[in-house]
Amino acid sequence: MSKVTLEQWRMLHAVVEHGGFAQASGALHKSQSTISYAVNKLQDQLGVRILEVRGRKAELTEAGRVMLRRSQVLLKESDALEKIAGSLSMGWEGELTLAVEVLFPYPVLMDILNDFSQVSRSTRLELVESVLSGTTERVVSGQADLVITGVLPTGFLGEKLLSIRFVPVARFDHPLLQLDRAITEKELKQQRQIVVRDSGVKRNNSAGWLGAEERWTVSNMTTVVRLLEQGLGFAWLPEHYIEAQLEAGTIKVLPLGSKGSKGSKGSKGLKVSKGLRVVPLYMVFPDDDNVGPATQALAEIVRKHCCRFEMSSF
């Protein structure tokens, strides 16, 4: 059982910060005798001399400096607990899980998290980045408060946020790019394809065209890009994810043939092949009847930044 109270520590900090008992009295709106009694009792209870009065000023002893430094952590934790209690009493969630499909634009995600940090009220946030059924499993199981997914599970409604442009790409010197013409599906099947593994437990889904007879499967898109840069295959990737490589010309879009399709321009003016695919991403509340204020605040921030992304992409 603690011998001293948080209020005693606060009074001690006020005396040190303001330079004396009289000054602390004015700052805390308490009588000087009340503060003096509390601090003297603190010293007696601890058995350590914390302050020495020199003239009209109270100064810390060597032991006092150690105790003051350690007690700062205690007071900060106490203040944080009070804030959290206040938020919880208003229904604000203490913890929040956000599950995001890895296709989601990383810079947009960082902007969302930065904005949420300004209003989070000490909410503990868990960010789960997953692929395909790994994301939808979070919806079905209810293991997330807010989910951004490319696949809507049966029985759930989703709000469309944005569209992700997928293009087939390979290193600039890939054999298919040396043909200088549209590539047929037969020719594509003869090349090694690199895909990202489904992160779900059952792993029933796969992303992109999977017609290649030889396929390498990896766990994240960063590895896909590195393998492409080594010239080890081709892949379907979100255009925004490889924007820098496309602009630098180290990775290029494969010109796939498609009957009746016409070339177009993608985001940032990048040229898009005839094999362009567009994948929508949706925002889903797994437990739509119990969406707390923190989740609602986060959802509104998500909407704002996704709208900006869509406007800048088209």
**How do the domains of the chain map onto residue ranges?**
6-89, 95-160+281-309, 162-279
pLDDT tens, position by position, 244-271: 999 999 999 998 875 433 333 443 333 3
Give the pLDDT confidence score for residue 133 in this predicted structure.
Answer: 63
Helix (H, G, I), strand (E, B) or coil at 66: helix
Residue 194 CA to residue 184 CA, distance in Å, equals 18
* Contact predicate 149/139, CB 8 Å: yes
**Any idea which residue has 């949420």 for tokens?**
116
Residues of the chain with pLDDT under 70: 1-2, 56, 80, 83-90, 132-134, 199-212, 258-276, 313-314
Determine contact, residues 263/272, Cβ cutoff 8 Å: yes
Q: How far apart are CA 178 and CA 181, in angstroms?
A: 8
Q: Do domains 95-160+281-309 and 162-279 have the same CATH topology?
A: yes
What does the pLDDT read at residue 302? 96
CA of 291: how far to CAs of 10, 144, 214, 221, in Å? 38, 11, 45, 32
- Output the pLDDT for position 74: 86
Q: Which CATH number fits domain 162-279: 3.40.190.290, 3.40.718.10, 1.10.3720.10, 3.40.140.10?
A: 3.40.190.290
Distances (CA, A) of 78 to 3, 9, 73: 17, 11, 9
The class level of CATH for 6-89 reads mainly alpha
Query: According to the model, what pLDDT value does residue 300 have?
Result: 96
pLDDT in tens, 96-137: 999 998 889 999 999 999 999 999 887 889 998 887 666 777
Contact 27, 16 (CB under 8 A): no
* CATH architecture observed for domain 95-160+281-309: 3-Layer(aba) Sandwich (3.40)
